[in-house]
Amino acid sequence: MSEQSSTADNLIEVNDLVKYFPVRGGVLQRTIAHVKAVEKVSFVVKRGETLGLVGESGCGKTTIGRMLVRLIEPTSGSIRFEGRDILPLKGAELKALRREMQIIFQDPFSSLDPRTPVGDSIGEGLLVHGVRDARERQRQVREIMHKVGLEDYHARRYPHEFSGGQRQRIGIARALVL
């Protein structure tokens, strides 16, 4: 297989990804040091493959995920999605990317608004991405809830009313609904 065709099969390419977080101190809160969160991580995910990030607590798994979906910026390195460098993306282009790439946190409870019914939380992404018709949003929310093993009546419940496994499914539904 040629180099070009093998690169075309790559969904995600991460090269030498680095993230340092500043440590601030003193009266003026100047940067006095850096914490190395991620150091020169590289990997490729081909179309149809699944990647799991496994490691001890605090080893950088969540930081890598947050950089992949551009919730935080890397200190250095490159991230390509479908062959395109995603680091320069802003505005509408970044919004479009986030429709294609979603992160599901290990503890979805922290990413769910406790005052919002889960059906609204699942449908929030649809609204952000232009599905204005409330009936259509509700239809899509019900459909994805069924796919992850939740019933229609669950849409009216709040995050604290679910088990950890059910909250994980809510997080998966939020990612898949787009």
* Predicted pLDDT at 67: 96
Residue-range domain boundaries for the chain: 3-90, 108-176
* Predicted pLDDT at 122: 94
The whole-angstrom separation of Cα 78 and Cα 16 is 7
Q: Which residues of the chain have pLDDT under 50?
A: 1-5
Q: Please give the torsion angle defined by the CA atoms of residues 60, 61, 65 and 66, in that order, rounded to the nearest 10 degrees.
A: -40
CATH, domain range 3-90: 3.40.50.300
Does the model's pTM come out above 0.75? no
Q: Which tokens hold the place of 35?
A: 């914490």
* Predicted pLDDT at 5: 45
What are all long-range contacts of 81-89, with beta carbons under 8 Å and residues at least 24 apart?
Answer: 81/11, 81/12, 82/11, 83/7, 83/8, 83/10, 83/13
* Predicted pLDDT at 84: 94
Q: 60-112, pLDDT tens digit by residue? A: 999 999 999 999 999 999 999 999 999 999 999 998 898 888 888 777 777 88
Burial 6-44 (b: 16+ CB within 10 A, else e): eeeebbbbbeebebbeeeeeeeeeeeeeeeebbeebeeb
